Amino acid sequence: MTTLKNDRFLRALLREPVDTTPIWMMRQAGRYLPEYKATRAQAGDFLSLCKNTELACEVTLQPLRRYELDAAILFSDILTIPDALGLGLYFETGEGPKFKNTIRTEADIAKLPKLNSRTDLDYVMNAVSAIRSALSGQVPLIGFSGSPWTLATYMIEGGSSKDYRFTKEMLYKSPELLHALLDHLADSVIDYLNAQIEAGAQAVQIFDSWGGALAHRQYVEFSLNYMKKIVGGLVREKDGRRIPVILFTKGGGQWLETMLDANADAYGLDWTTPLDQARARVQGRVALQGNLDPATLYGSAKTIENAVKQMLDDAYRHGEKTGYVANLGHGITQWVNPDMPKIFVDTVHEYSAKYLG
């Protein structure tokens, strides 16, 4: 077993002492990097890139060559599960992901197969194993999945949506159907994440990208409860180390106390929640992750530096010494100058030392 040279990310998630604040960025491997664009062109298209073990490993490692990041995250897509369930994922240029088939009836749900991630999504597990080996203990590897609610919205709508018309119609008109779909997806996510952990993921994150589109009672019933089921079904220790679980609901900061019922180790925050208030609200019971507005990286070096320092001041305002991971409040965008994230990363490491020394 390779010794982990830098484990501050895992330590912070478990609220153990750290020497400086760990940092990674959601979508850190992506279209803002010219080397990523070149590798994607080599693969031919996005899905081919995800399914090519060597190239998926390459793009995962690319941001670590540029920035002193404290974690790598598997390069894949949140819609691999619906694709493996037979919905036929494809990508339209400029329109994002789409499915050839949708799930809108009881018969559609009944036809969904039981997922066996080790065979149905073997290309993901091959990538996890290859990345873990290539990292050689440099930093931990994060595995991930979309939440059942988020996956369901894509499966019901047939792609991205602004109003979730068909999903919310099912929620309010035929809630028993939506619960059946969400339960199937929760079982699928448990299988998927446990397979990633078996293949080498050292922490996992559940991306509840569209949880914030729900009303407050519906968030608990149709999103949080299924994430709680997932967390309860995950392998939480491997090779003598705890496997931390991060839960991230975009637009869900107002439900932070309620989210604690899911029993995750850490909770991600978007940029709309004041970090000092969030730290006070959770009272040291869990770690927090986030929450710089990704658009900050469009700014000048001074603007980025000042914003990062303010974020860190908020994170440590109440005297905590750990339990915080710096990140963006959502994924880095394709229009960011690739020189700017270095300012973000370096400022986090340098400035946080005054609080943790």
Q: Does residue 154 have a known ligand-binding role?
A: yes
- In angstroms, the CA 246 to CA 327 distance is 12
User: Going by C-beta distance under 8 Å and a sequence separation of 6 or more, which residues neighbour residue 69?
Assistant: 23, 24, 25, 28, 63, 139, 345
Known binding residue 317? Answer is: no
Give the angle 264-270-276 at the CA atoms, nearest 5°: 80
Residue 77 marked in a binding site: yes
User: Is 330 part of any known ligand binding site?
Assistant: yes
Confirm whether residue 28 is marked as ligand binding: yes
Q: What is the total residue count of the chain?
A: 357
Q: What is the arrangement of strands in the sheet containing 266-268, beginning at the earlier edge strand? A: 72-73, 141-146, 203-208, 245-249, 266-268, 287-292, 324-328
Is the distance from CB of 19 to CB of 352 less than 8 angstroms? no
Q: Of 31, 65, 94, 32, whose CA–CA distance to 298 is shortest? A: 32
Q: What is the bridge-based pairing of β-strands 266-268 and 245-249?
A: parallel
Q: Which of 231, 314, 321 is nearest to 280 (CA)?
A: 314
**Active site positions, annotated:** 27, 31, 40, 77, 154
Burial of 74 (0-12, 13-18, 19+ CB in 10 A): buried
Residue 31, strand partner residues: none
Q: Check: CB of residue 274 under 8 Å from CB of residue 252.
A: no
Q: How far apart are CA 50 and CA 210, in angstroms?
A: 23
What gap in Å lies between CA 327 and CA 149, rounded to an integer? 23
Q: Any binding-site annotation on 261?
A: no
- Bind-site residues: 27-31, 77, 154, 209, 330
- Bind-site residues for substrate: 27-31, 77, 154, 209, 330
